[in-house]
């Protein structure tokens, strides 16, 4: 990878510039006290990280409280650089490259990326599919005479999308399907029910159709092509992964893709997400990786 291509196209020469950017992302309409909702504060400069003391209740609001950076000792410039790199729609970033580019240990880079991915996962899960929804079974992993002997690492997925009236998919989810919901290669009813409950907005009229047989003549080719692209991106960026990490990376892929389909700048959206999503503790990351199914 050409590391010179990894320089951000924006200028954050100082920590102060980064704090201003984070302030804008966290409070785009001006300061709001997290305790009482008051809109005016004094800035306290005596600490390395800025504090905002509320005029009304005197609560000291930390700029990084409630963000993915909370509790991290890593320089905020490195965090913003990592957010820029993970926002790249052409490649994303893996921990090995990130550690080289921003000069942190591999473990620190890995943890930063996991925290950013957790925020993406939250965003994907709270963004329910609605209206016309189409869902198709797909697979991650190289086929190995798939009709006779499935590859041991092959993982079943649901690729799902909200469709426009024109038939164009406009919002995607790819969810790792536990093998307990499969029976002779077909998805059990409990598997589709759970997906609908967790990922489809049923408060309004919804037209949902599942294709649960791999070689169905009615399969949704547009959706399957996206699942294949996501698998190729994972293999290229992370050199293939095991089932534990699959959901995390599929969510990352869909997060960027969905913003792109809405013509929304990924970096600015990711910055806002990072500034408004609480950091996930290491123990939760490990626990989550032990169970990656939807």
Q: List residues binding Zn ion (CB under 5 A).
A: 33, 35-36, 38, 54, 56-57, 59
In whole angstroms, the minimum distance from the beta carbon of 53 to Zn ion comes to 9
Pick from 34, 24, 74: nearest CA to 54: 34
Select 59 or 293, whichever has its Cβ closest to Zn ion.
Answer: 59
In whole angstroms, the minimum distance from the beta carbon of 46 to Zn ion comes to 19
In whole angstroms, the minimum distance from the beta carbon of 42 to Zn ion comes to 12
Pick from 12, 11, 15, 43: nearest CA to 27: 43
Annotate 153-172 with DSSP letters as a single string: T-EEEEEEEEE-TTS-EEEE
Select 38 or 268, whichever has its Cβ closest to Zn ion.
Answer: 38
In whole angstroms, the minimum distance from the beta carbon of 61 to Zn ion comes to 8
Contact 167, 161 (CB under 8 A): no
In whole angstroms, the minimum distance from the beta carbon of 150 to Zn ion comes to 58
Secondary structure of residue 144 in the 3-state scheme: coil
Give residues with Cβ within 8 angstroms of 52, minimum separation 6.
Answer: 31, 33, 41, 42, 43, 44, 60, 61, 62, 63
Alpha-carbon distance of 241 to 250, in angstroms, equals: 11
Alpha-carbon distance of 71 to 90, in angstroms, equals: 30
Tell whether the torsion through CA atoms of 242, 280, 252 and 96 is positive or negative: negative
Select 35 or 188, whichever has its Cβ closest to Zn ion.
Answer: 35
Select 63 or 129, whichever has its Cβ closest to Zn ion.
Answer: 63
Select 38 or 151, whichever has its Cβ closest to Zn ion.
Answer: 38
In whole angstroms, the minimum distance from the beta carbon of 35 to Zn ion comes to 5
Select 12 or 59, whichever has its Cβ closest to Zn ion.
Answer: 59
**DSSP β-bridge partners for residue 183:** 186
């Amino acid at each position: 990878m050409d590391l010179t291509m990894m320089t951000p196209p924006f200028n954050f020469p100082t920590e102060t510039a980064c704090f201003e950017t984070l302030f804008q992302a966290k409070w785009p309409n001006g300061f709001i006290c997290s305790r009482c909702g008051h809109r005016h504060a004094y800035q306290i400069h005596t600490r390395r990280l800025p504090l905002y003391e509320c005029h009304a209740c005197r609560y000291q609001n930390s700029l990084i409280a409630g963000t993915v950076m909370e509790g991290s000792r890593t320089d905020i410039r490195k965090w913003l650089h990592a957010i820029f790199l993970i926002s790249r729609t052409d490649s994303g970033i893996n921990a090995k490259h990130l550690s080289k580019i921003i000069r942190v240990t591999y473990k620190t880079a890995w943890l930063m990326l996991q925290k950013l991915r957790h925020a993406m996962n939250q965003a994907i899960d709270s963004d329910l599919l609605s209206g016309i929804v189409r869902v198709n079974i797909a697979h991650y992993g190289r086929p190995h005479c798939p009709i006779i002997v499935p590859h041991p690492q092959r993982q079943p997925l649901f690729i799902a999308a909200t469709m426009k009236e024109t038939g164009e998919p406009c919002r995607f989810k790819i969810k790792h399907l536990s093998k307990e919901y499969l029976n002779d290669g077909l998805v059990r009813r409990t598997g589709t029910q759970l997906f609908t409950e967790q990922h489809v907005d049923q408060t309004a009229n919804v037209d949902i159709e599942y294709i649960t047989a791999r070689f169905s003549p009615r399969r949704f080719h547009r959706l399957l092509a996206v699942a294949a692209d996501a698998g190729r991106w994972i293999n290229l960026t992370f050199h293939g992964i095991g089932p534990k990490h699959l959901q995390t990376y599929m969510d990352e892929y869909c997060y960027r893709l969905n913003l792109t389909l809405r013509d929304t700048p990924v970096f600015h959206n990711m910055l806002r997400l990072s500034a408004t999503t609480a950091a996930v503790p290491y123990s939760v990351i490990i626990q989550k990786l032990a169970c990656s199914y939807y």
